[in-house]
Amino acid sequence: MIQAYIVDDREVDRYTARRRLAKTGRFTAVHEAEDGRIFLDKLFDAEPKLDEPGPLVLMDISMPFMDGFETVEALRARMIESGWPENVVVVIVSSSGAPKDKQRAAETPLVRGYFEKPIKVDDVEVMLSLMGAA
């Protein structure tokens, strides 16, 4: 089983993602955060699960305080600093289909995929395969 984090400032988008993840029956817990700072606090307050894949992080790009790319950079720095296991899988979930956003995601360490909102059940299966958990 896998833990997931949905990082998005819009409640409706978190709700949709939460429902899609729940349909798979593959997640032990789905945590939510309205921005990158809250996400980082939640993740690093938890003990890493070394015997589980993931967690899977669904990251929005456009959020207040820290955008998705800034959050991923901060996540990577904190993982290195704290010795956190490198099992975190980040996927961008955005309403933007802009090629520049997709290119930036492809060049960002930790980001393994890019999905446009709203995510579909098939998208979740692809995310699971990116984790090696399909």
Q: Which of 14-18, 35-39, 49-53 has the lowest mean pLDDT?
A: 49-53
Ordered domains of the chain (ranges, CATH): 1-54+69-98 (3.40.50)
Encode burial over 13-22: b for 16+ CB neighbours within 10 A, e otherwise: bbebbbebbe
Q: pTM of this prediction?
A: 0.94
Q: What's residue 67's pLDDT?
A: 94
Neighbours of 51 (CB within 10 A): 5
Alpha-carbon separation of residue 88 from 3, 10, 12, 104, 132 (angstroms)? 10, 23, 24, 19, 12
Q: What's residue 134's pLDDT?
A: 57
Q: What's residue 84's pLDDT?
A: 83
Query: From CA 88, how far away is CA 53, in angstroms rounded?
Result: 8
For the stretch 111-134, pLDDT in tens is 999 999 999 989 999 999 998 865
Terminal C-alpha separation, the chain: 11
